[in-house]
Amino acid sequence: MKVIFTQNLGQACRDDELPLSELLARADALTLHVPLTPTSRNMIDSKALEAMKATAVLINTGRGALVDPVALAEALRAGTISGAAIDVLEMEPPSPDHPLLAHDIPNLLCTPHVAWASEKAQATLASRLEVLVRNALQ
């Protein structure tokens, strides 16, 4: 497996980075680890989805608003990309009519914002909390 990544939106690429357009065209799996900013909102829109391989999958555990939900639902139904897994939505809890909660999108895995909840993540969180409390009490 080869890991590729892109620049911060709006910034020039470093030697080890690809322009977003090239990354979209080459990636077999696209995972989003991006803060939500005005430039990253809906960074994965219909144009970005159309630039991806038909065999690609999209994974978003970052922020819900990074992906246009209507565009993603349409792309999944049309087979523009092969699948997606999302752990975040722009508004949580979502409305019952949220486009990504439709029952006719079998190539979508939607989890209830629990990607952070692994045993290791919880242990790390508890450890950091302990350090913060000790520092505050000293």
Catalytic residue among 92, 103, 128, 130: 92
Q: What token pair was written down for 3? A: 């890991």
Q: Where are the alpha helices (DSSP H) in 12-95?
A: 20-26, 46-51, 69-78
Question: Please, which residues bridge with residue 126 across strands?
Answer: none
Distance CA 85, CA 100 (A): 11
Catalytic residue among 26, 41, 77, 113: 113
Distance CA 86, CA 61 (A): 6
Check if 33 is active-site. no
Check if 92 is active-site. yes
Check if 17 is active-site. no
Give the active site residues.
Answer: 63, 92, 113
